[in-house]
């Protein structure tokens, strides 16, 4: 309980402090703000290691797509992957809930780094242009897009079918997908106490090349990630 308290205290204090330090960067080039995001990623892993004695393993670096455009599809069990994946990849472009952009300071950062927002479960003028925004971002940037095909944070045991939107994005972009399985929920569950002395694994899996139908892709992606998660649990 004490270690959980210390982790939460120092983690959030650190995130707030980094946000304040980099606040002037809102008016400066985007790369400075992106550097602040990487620092948040390293701070997240440092807090896990120090306060929760978490061992973090990065598996499958040889599978990382290099030299061409791609997008990332990662499992989502905690806040860990939101921060930490920025330290492995070139500052991914996040797809997120519209409401997150309304958060003071933090929302400003998200806008500055080019995050793409969507109003969930709503048909709006903004949502109708969602895939156009994604295609434009991918064409103009060397940063990979990142999606969480489960749609929201789930427990480590949850095997909810992936959202159909991941298949639509794959079809629209026509570029390779980098699947990633992360068992962060075993350490940092969505609800309840965080676990001590665990191994948190980021498993970078073999790419799924373009050319499949969106339905087959979604099933293949789901099978690939959930099969890996089952081995990590």
Residue 96 is predicted with a pLDDT of 76
Residue 126 is predicted with a pLDDT of 53
- Domain range summary for the chain, segments of one domain joined by +: 55-232
Give the Cα separation of 155 and 77 in Å (integer): 6
pLDDT category at 108 given cuts 50, 70, 90 is confident
pLDDT category at 124 given cuts 50, 70, 90 is very low
Residue 97 is predicted with a pLDDT of 75
Mean pLDDT of 54-63: 97
Q: What order do you get walking across the sheet with 55-59 strand by strand?
A: 55-59, 199-204, 177-182, 71-74, 145-147, 93-97, 116-118
Cα 89 to chain centroid, rounded: 10
pLDDT above 90 (res 98): no
Assigned token pair, 230: 């089952």
Please choose, from the candidates 124, 128, 162, 170, the residue with its C-alpha nearest in 3D space to the C-alpha of residue 145. Answer: 170
Q: What is the assigned CATH class of domain 55-232?
A: alpha beta
Residue 198 is predicted with a pLDDT of 97
pLDDT category at 7 given cuts 50, 70, 90 is very high
The per-residue pLDDT for range 141-152, each reduced to its tens digit, is 889 999 999 988
C-alpha dist (Å) from residue 79 to 90, 125, 185, 188, 216: 18, 30, 9, 8, 29
């Amino acid at each position: 309980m004490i270690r959980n308290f210390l982790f939460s205290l120092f983690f959030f204090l650190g995130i707030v402090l980094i946000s304040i330090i980099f606040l002037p960067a809102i008016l400066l080039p985007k790369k400075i703000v992106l550097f602040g995001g990487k620092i948040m990623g390293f701070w997240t892993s440092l807090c896990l290691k120090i306060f929760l004695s978490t061992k973090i393993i990065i598996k499958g670096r040889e599978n990382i797509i290099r030299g061409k455009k791609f997008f990332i599809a990662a499992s989502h069990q905690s806040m860990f992957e939101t921060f930490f994946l920025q330290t492995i990849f070139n500052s991914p472009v996040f797809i997120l809930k519209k409401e997150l952009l309304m958060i003071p300071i933090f929302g400003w950062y998200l806008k500055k780094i080019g995050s793409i927002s969507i109003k969930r479960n709503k048909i709006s003028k903004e949502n109708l242009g969602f895939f156009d925004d994604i295609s434009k971002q991918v064409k103009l940037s060397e940063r990979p897009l990142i999606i969480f095909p489960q749609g929201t944070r789930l427990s480590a045991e949850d095997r909810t079918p992936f959202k159909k939107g991941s298949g639509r994005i794959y079809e629209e972009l026509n570029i390779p997908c980098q699947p990633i399985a992360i068992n962060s929920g075993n350490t940092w569950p969505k609800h309840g106490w965080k676990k001590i002395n665990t191994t948190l694994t980021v498993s970078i899996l073999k790419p799924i090349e373009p050319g499949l139908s969106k339905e087959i892709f979604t099933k293949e992606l789901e099978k690939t990630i959930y099969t890996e998660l089952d081995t990590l649990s």
